[in-house]
Structure 1
Amino acid sequence: MQTEIKTHYNYSEVIVWLEKKGVELYGDHFKILETDYPIIYKLIAYFLKDEQTCFQYGINLKKGILLSGPVGCGKTSLMTIMKHLTKTEHKFSVKPCRDISFEFIQDGYEVIHKYSEDLRLKGGQPAALKYCFDDLGVEQNLKYFGNECNVMAEILLSRYDIFTTKKIQTHITTNLSASEIETHYGNRVRSRLRELCNLIAYDRHATDKRK
C-alpha cells in the first residue's frame, strides 16, 4: 500500500475532514477504512487538482473519473463526499442511472438531450452541466412508444462529444468491468470512455460495507 505522497497538501488531514463530512451526510457508522486509502488518495489528488500527485498516479486532470468496484464498496458515498471537496467551478451533480432510465420512460428522448446537451447560463454564457452518473449498468434498455433505446450509451456518446468540444468532464461509478461495459454498451462506448475518464478501480474482492 502506498502511503507516502510527495505533495504540499496534508492528505491525512483531508481524510479526517472527509470522514467528518461522511458522518454528517450518512451517520455515525460512516468510516473511511485504511485499506481504501490508495483509492481515496487518488480521488483527493484529482478533486483538489493536485497536479504533482496526479502526475505520480498517472491521472489526467482534463478527464473525468470512472470509479469502478464491487457492490457496496462505497463508490457512491465517496463521489458524493468528493463533491464537497472540489472547488465551485468543478462541482457536479450525482445522478443515478436508474433514475435516468425512469425519466426516459416518462419523457422519452428529451432525457438524452437533457443530460448530454443541458445548458445553463453562467456569467451570461451557456455552460454544460457536470454530472457523475452513478451505478452505470443497473439500468436496462427501455422502450419509448415501442422504440428500444440504450439510454446511457447515447448519453455517454454525447457527453464524449461535449468533452472533445467544450472540455466538460463526466464522472461515472459502476460495478461493471471493462469487458462488461463493452457487452452492455458496445465497443464504441468503451473506447470513448478511455478518452473521457481516468479509471480508478477497487480490487474486485473489496469488502461490502453494507453488510
Structure 2
Amino acid sequence: MEKQPVQTACFEEVFLDYLRLRFEFEPLPHYVMAAIHVCDQSSRSYPQFVFGFLAWFADGFLFEREGTFPAQSHNKDPADKRWRRYRDCQALLDGWLNDDLTAALEAQEERLELVERVAALRLEERKGSHTSSGRKHSKMTKTETEIFDELEEYYGDIAAYTLKRQHKKLTEHREYMSGVCPVAIVPSSNGFEIKIMEIDEGVFRLLTRAAHS
C-alpha cells in the first residue's frame, strides 16, 4: 500500500471519526477519553458522541450510582482485556502526539490485511464437495479451520489459533450498539480512509466508510 505523508489536521478529523465509530460499535469509555484528549490538544469542539457520553455519565454518577465510576471490569471481561481492544487507538494517539504515526499506521494496515484475507477466503469454495464417506458437504465454502490453516501457511510465523484470536478481537466485540465494525485507518491518495465491515445480505463485507483530505 502506497505511503502518504501525514497531514496533521486531516488525521485529527479521521481519528475522531474512527473513535466515534469504535465507540458506537463497542461503547468503551476509552474512546471518549481519547477523543477528549485530541480535542483539548487541538482546540477543537467535542464531537456529539463525547457530549452524549458525558451527559450519561454525569446523570448516572450523580443520581444512580451515588458517585461510583461506571464499572470498568467484571469477571467475564476484565479491564486489561478492554484495554487491549482499545490499545491500537492508544498507539495512534501516542503517534499523533509524538508527530510520528509510521508504526501505528503500519499496524493498522496489518489489521486490515488480516480482515481482508479472512473475508476473501470465506467466499472461496472448499477443496472437496463430499466427505470421506461420500456425503455432500452442507457448507460449500471453506470452513474456519481451513481458512486459518491456510493463513498460518501464508504468514509462516503465526499459528492458526493466534490468527483466529486476533481476527475475533478485531471483529467480534462483546458489546456493541452498531452493526458497523470499524477495522482500520489507512493512508489514501486524499489523506486517510476508514475501513469498516458491515452486514450486506447476511455477509460481512469490507467497505470504505469515509475519506478525509
TM over 0.5: no
Normalised by the length of structure 2, the TM-score is 0.26
Structure with max Cα Rg: 2
- TM-score, length-normalised on structure 1? 0.26
